[in-house]
Structure 1
Amino acid sequence: MNVLPASADATRKTTVRWVMAIAAAALLFDGYDLVVYGTVVSSLLRDPSQLGTLDAAEAGALGSYALMGVMVGAITAGAVGDALGRRKLMLINIVWFSVGMALTATATSVPVFGLLRFLTGIGVGALVATAGAVVAEFAPAGKRNFHNAIVYSGVPAGGLLASLLAIVLGGVTDWRGLFMIGALPLVVLFPLAYLKLPESPRWLLARGRTEDARLLSVKTGISLADGDAQAASASPDPRLSTQPPAAVRQDGRPLTGFAALASGNYRTPTILLGLMSFCGLLLTYGLNTWLPEIMGQHGYGKTYSLTFLLALNAGAVIGGLVASRSADRLGPRAIVATTFVIAAAALVLLTLEFPLPVLLIAVAFAGVGSLGTQVLVYGFVSNYYPTPARAAGVAWCAGFGRLGGIVGPLVGGFLISAHAPNNVAFIVFAAVALFGGLVTVFVRRHRAGVHAAAFPGNPAGFGESRETVQQGTGQWGS
């Protein structure tokens, strides 16, 4: 087993801390963007002087415009992220969504507001897709699900921030001030990321820039060899490999980006992982957009309604971190399936007449199984694919999943506009959670073959042999 010198190990730990902190801070504002609309939608519905007359269906559509942009941004990140690099994409999109939030705060009509929400979403989507690849390539082996949960818990933490600020600043500023707060990363986070966020050495190696990768590896302390592969090579059974096998062409060159996802080795799991993300994000955006309005129609005042939103996101933060520990020990598949079922049960409890404290606890568990589950899904996905296809894999799941994010607010808006009983929305969301759990069960596990010798696109001899991968028998998961 390779043991790093103390100085190199200290450098690696410092690098990892900075990278995780910057990625988590970026996603904090993604979560803020996600939830801030839910905190102001009731005000926009009741005050036509802000943007114009809105009904619930139109408000649901407005909530979906940002998600459409997120889907475009995530898919675009997958198309260019594995070519452009992790650092550049993070920096570009921190600026993009910050400017978008600032401009949205100035909107005076529904069409302009919707367009700016869409454009802002492009930057948010690219950040979400890139963060998973960053975690997978910087986090230490054996702790990737936990580090991923820390980073992606920035999303529900941002939701907590939006909910708290909406309550605290309710009499101080209007919705425009809340949106302007979302532009702070431009002056706070971007300079820090520019100075402290390195490129991924493993991405450089995958792009054939071997010398640049070696120099950056020395500078950052991040090994060029995948930590899981190192652990596998030290295993008593050399056939046990946890490194995802690379998809390669017949000439041995690696398939990259979406071409790798469509290869026989990954095609079916990619579809299933996309469906998991679809369900997780439908629950996340549906609940975050409409939970305050639904609970308001149950008779709870504005502060109480926002408290439900607070509980939802608090449950997601705490539950996501706790569940990620189990995912590192037991594998993410079983844990994700379990948290989906927890969401379904919690949503059913919300249809019953329980006292407020019990309802808040149920909402918190719904948060564990919605946005908390999505945190785990991103970790699952980012470790499912090899480096040349990792950004594309995360982008696919973030992008396709955002279709669920688009559908969630629309479903809630349709049900409210149709004057359906409030409990119907919770039953619909519970059914989606059960479907997500079922899909998760069918994602294939990795059956390790013999270790590969080094070949083009697999210089460290990771994963399975070239022949095994070309035959499409390698499977990755847990």
Structure 2
Amino acid sequence: MAPSTQDGAVRQDALRRRSVTWIVSLATVGLVFDGYDLVVYGTVVPLFLRDPGQIGEVTPALAGALGSYALIGVLVGALLAGSVADVIGRRRVMLTAYAWFSVGMALTALATSTAAFGLLRFVTGIGVGALVATTGALVAEFAPAGKKNLANAISYSGVPLGSLLAALLAILLLDVIGWRGMFWIGALPLLTLLPLAFLKMPESPAWLASRGRLDEARAVAARTGVSLAVPGTEGPRVPEPVVEGRAGFAGLAGRTYLLPTLLLGLLSATGLLLVYALNTWLPELMGRAGFSTNGSLSFLLVLNGGAVLGALAASRFADRFGPKPVVAASFTLGAAAIALLTVSLPLGVLLAFVAVVGLGTSGTQILIYGFVATYYRTNVRSAGVAWCAGFGRLGGIGGPLIGGLLVASGIALNSIFYVLTALAVLGALLTLVVPTADARHAQAARRSAPAALAVEPGDLLAHRAR
């Protein structure tokens, strides 16, 4: 290789690394506030249950319903984002989402009744859903081959990191700033993250190429150092056309993706049911087990810390062996750890098992997002992640509700943990029946247009340049 060519390759690699670092960092910080939104409500539920002077009288059943309103909003926001992000682009949707959920958190801090609180939680959830649904697609399209699961794991680890932040700030500040102050903190991205993302977050060159906007794709690729000739998914290098079949949700309904999309939706719903049930009700459950308020909140710290560390470690195995067996194993570990919470154990051992529960629930959900983001081709990828995040939120909606009903029913604490164990086992079984992405892409290639037309974005750009 000539020295000038070698120098150019080194500069391009440095530029690509810098661009990917910015994108993954912005994506992670954005999802930190998703995680914060997830857990901040759980940290104030005990206060609402015991003090009607906050937003009115709140019963366990009503607390579960209030927790679910935000998740209904997430469902709506994710599905709306999936409808448009494959058409108008990832960047626009993500910037809008940052502004939307920040304003929603600020308005929630001003609520004075359960009705207003619930409505504003729904509105905030729309922005959170749009963000979760779009992040995975953008990150997967910028991450280098062989590191897509890792890049998505880093980004989506922002969710449990935000949960950690909410639990820690509640321990330190809840008595000082009250629940309203906790929600004001959630509005900070409007003044911090949004301006930075506006300047530093580019549109995906792969998406631009898939829409036929080739000059723009070239310009962004040159500016970011990202090659356009990388495949859209992990696995064998099956050529991906610029427009292969229908885009968005219409593409998911085709023969190639219909069955796996349904299974991945159910898988995500199971994972999110566990995530939201535990993050909403674990402080209350551990309080009923005899721990103090701060001690109960500490379990949330350990739960989400285990999710972050476990998912980052597991993502390396997912890039090497494929995400499917790793997700199934993670669910299985979570099921075993939840069952062991019913055993009388020393505090240190109990905390260790709670950390493993974090891997098997929130950590597994991080891996699921990476699984989905690398499963689909470019022009349906955002819709696929949106479906996973949106339909999956049905489980998230059910998590606080089911937790509230179980707590209100007065059944034994161990029985509640056994119900959660069964759900984790179900998640492992669903993972095992998802068809492999390799088989689906090969099947699609056999039905596609002649091979001469099945070129990747980078190949098309080179052809047009000639």
Q: Does the pair score TM above 0.5? A: yes
Q: Which range is displaced more, 266-275 or 151-160?
A: 266-275
Structure 1 residue 460: deviation in Å?
Answer: 5.4
Name the counterpart of 1:241.
Answer: 236
CA contact 2:86–2:383 (8 Å) conserved in 1: yes
Name the counterpart of 1:340.
Answer: 331
Q: Name the amino acid aligned to 1:453.
A: A
1:425 to 404, 410, 416: 416
What fraction of aligned residue pairs are identical, expressed as a percent?
Answer: 57
Name the counterpart of 1:319.
Answer: 310
Distance, in Å, in 2 between the alignment partners of 1:315 and 1:274 is 24
2:188 to 181, 184, 188: 184
How do residues 107-126 of structure 1 correspond to structure 2 at under 5 angstroms?
107-126=111-130
Structure 1 residue 254: deviation in Å?
Answer: 2.6
Name the counterpart of 2:48.
Answer: 44
Q: Mind listing any 5+ residue stretches in structure 1 that lack a counterpart?
A: 233-239, 463-478
Cα distance change, pair 44–169 in 1 and its aligned pair in 2 (3 A): same
Name the counterpart of 1:282.
Answer: 273
Q: TM-score scaled by structure 1?
A: 0.90
Distance, in Å, in 2 between the alignment partners of 1:243 and 1:184 is 43
Q: Mind listing any 5+ residue stretches in structure 2 that lack a counterpart?
A: 461-466
Cα distance change, pair 241–198 in 1 and its aligned pair in 2 (3 A): same
Name the counterpart of 2:247.
Answer: 256
Partner of 2:226: helix, strand, or coil?
A: coil
How do residues 277-426 of structure 1 correspond to structure 2 at under 5 angstroms?
277-426=268-417
Cα distance change, pair 347–326 in 1 and its aligned pair in 2 (3 A): same
CA contact 1:65–1:114 (8 Å) conserved in 2: yes
Q: Name the amino acid aligned to 2:355.
A: A
Distance, in Å, in 2 between the alignment partners of 1:339 and 1:158 is 21
Q: Deviations over 1:117-136 (max 9, x none)?
A: 00000000000010000111
Q: Deviations over 1:379-406 (max 9, x none)?
A: 0000100110000000001001000000
Instruction: Give the structure with the larger helix fraction.
Output: 2
Q: Deviations over 1:326-374 (max 9, x none)?
A: 1111110000000000111011011111122111111111100001000
Name the counterpart of 1:453.
Answer: 451
Distance, in Å, in 2 between the alignment partners of 1:44 and 1:244 is 55
Structure 1 residue 276: deviation in Å?
Answer: 1.0
2:132 to 128, 132, 146: 128
Partner of 2:343: helix, strand, or coil?
A: coil
Name the counterpart of 1:168.
Answer: 172
Name the counterpart of 2:463.
Answer: none
Name the counterpart of 2:228.
Answer: 224
Q: Deviations over 1:411-438 (max 9, x none)?
A: 1100111111112221111111100100
Q: TM-score scaled by structure 2?
A: 0.93
Name the counterpart of 1:473.
Answer: none
Distance, in Å, in 1 between the alignment partners of 2:39 and 2:432 is 30
Distance, in Å, in 1 between the alignment partners of 2:81 and 2:412 is 40
CA contact 2:229–2:459 (8 Å) conserved in 1: no
Cα distance change, pair 406–243 in 1 and its aligned pair in 2 (3 A): farther
Distance, in Å, in 2 between the alignment partners of 1:184 and 1:105 is 13
Structure 1 residue 243: deviation in Å?
Answer: 4.9
Distance, in Å, in 1 between the alignment partners of 2:160 and 2:378 is 27
Cα distance change, pair 269–461 in 1 and its aligned pair in 2 (3 A): farther
Name the counterpart of 2:38.
Answer: 34
Q: How many residues align?
A: 449
Distance, in Å, in 2 between the alignment partners of 1:12 and 1:253 is 27
Structure 1 residue 444: deviation in Å?
Answer: 1.1
How do residues 74-223 of structure 1 correspond to structure 2 at under 5 angstroms?
74-223=78-227
Structure 1 residue 170: deviation in Å?
Answer: 3.1
Structure 1 residue 228: deviation in Å?
Answer: 6.8
Cα distance change, pair 374–242 in 1 and its aligned pair in 2 (3 A): farther
Over aligned residues, Cα RMSD in angstroms? 2.0
Cα distance change, pair 55–150 in 1 and its aligned pair in 2 (3 A): same
